[in-house]
Amino acid sequence: MQVIKFGGTSIGNPEQIRIALSIIDFNKDNIVVLSAFSGVTATLCEFIRQANNSDFDTCKKKKKKIEDKHISFTNELLQSSSITKIALNQISKSIHLLEKFISRRINSINEKEILAQGELLSAKIIYLYLLEREIDVALLPALNFMRLNSKKDPDLTLIKKRLSSELKKYTECRLFLTNGFICKNHRNKVDNLGRGGSDYTATIIGNVINASVVEIWTDIDGLHNNDPRFVDNTQAIRNISYNEACELAYFGAKILHPSSITPAQSANIPLIIKNTLNPNDKGTVISEYTIPKAIKAISAKDDISTIKVKSGRMMQAYGFLRKVFEIFEKYETPVDMLTTSEISVAMTIDNNEYLDKIKTELQTLGEVEIETNQSIICVVGDFSKNNNKLIQLILDALVDIPVQMISFGASNINISLVVDAKDKVETLNILNHILQNELCLTEIQ
């Protein structure tokens, strides 16, 4: 059995839905994971934000936008009045839920219920569309089997047990649909898997059913070797390892969330990223196999803050770093990069929610300097051979770019640099010239 995931852009309108579904081989066993229709989750997030700001007129507009979109999709996709009525009833239930919160603030539990409506509606409408076409299909509600444990991690053992139970209800069926992103937590409350959650759903399912492959269908021909929004002449990467893909995803590549790679990697299931609008392109295969190359790809992560703590007490001080990281742990703020010297430690974070409080507590340990609006540039490649020459090549090329931090050594596939956000695009383009200079890279290897 294989797992196929369609993102919001792949099902962004009725015609794209038809195209996406035409990709499925109905003669094979498939579990199809569906995101919300394009733009719906963003609208729901805005609904929540405005409700908590007491802007109830805007809430009504957002509710109407969601209602109109799903009714429009339903009317264009479905022909049968009885099946259309089922879809409209589901839409009505979701809209009624939103209406309950138009005139009051929304707590975290209700927020998760609201955000779940996008995936609940998209799966139901597409399920009804397939039924109307007389395709043998079963809808597996993700809320019946996707579970988080008390640490907010997927409970793979329980998911496997419950999903197996769901599948056994349909012994003759070969096509299954389910909701991406949404789940329940260990308290049996509606929750979600966070950003990139539908990809995560797909790879979790792939892991627990030991799928032959997990296909992620989006609107681009796989992972690119640089950011096509800022760099011309980028190319799709055809083969990349799990670890390389994870580095790129963690440090800015938007196509795939790093968490979604782990379930596939632990079960050694290939991940294939393909373009719904160009299905004949082979996309990017993520697996244990990789093609060695000096520089394989470059990505950038924005909205970074650098924090430097200077302290004479740090020198040979047992437990100093532990005290620093206890502060970040207290405020549940992960650190991306870390460099140290005898008298200072520098870190980067991508979440400024508690930055002022973190600064206040760090000042008890030493002098604190903070720079916001920074970018991490991640260069992924083969640094295991002649890495000094390759690093020198990179730094020489960036001689006119003020580099704030450099991190290298934790792995032989990645070097990361911090630059000011205003220098990000220039940095990406400079590095792209190195990436494209095959002769130079061949000489280094």
Q: Which residue has the tokens 């799966």?
A: 123
149 φ, ψ (degrees, to nearest 5): -90, -175
- Dist. CA 145–CA 160, nearest whole Å: 8
Query: Domains, the chain, ranges and CATH?
Result: 2-219 (3.40.1160.10), 296-444 (3.30.2130.10)
- Dist. CA 83–CA 81, nearest whole Å: 6
Quick one: tokens of 33? 């994971």
Q: DSSP string of 339-354?
A: EE-SSEEEEEES--TT
Residue type, 384: S
pLDDT in tens, the chain (445 residues): 999 999 999 999 999 999 999 999 999 999 999 999 999 999 999 999 999 999 999 999 999 999 999 999 999 999 999 999 999 999 999 999 999 988 778 898 899 999 999 999 999 999 999 999 999 999 999 999 999 999 999 999 999 999 999 999 998 899 999 999 999 999 999 999 987 789 999 999 999 999 999 999 998 898 999 998 899 989 889 999 999 999 888 876 677 888 899 999 999 999 999 999 999 999 999 999 887 787 889 999 999 999 999 987 665 667 888 899 999 999 999 999 999 887 889 999 999 999 999 999 999 999 999 999 999 999 998 887 666 788 888 999 999 999 999 988 677 888 999 999 999 999 999 999 888 875 445 444 4
- Dist. CA 258–CA 249, nearest whole Å: 5
Specify the pLDDT at position 384: 77
Residue ranges of the alpha helices (H) in 307-385? 320-330, 355-362
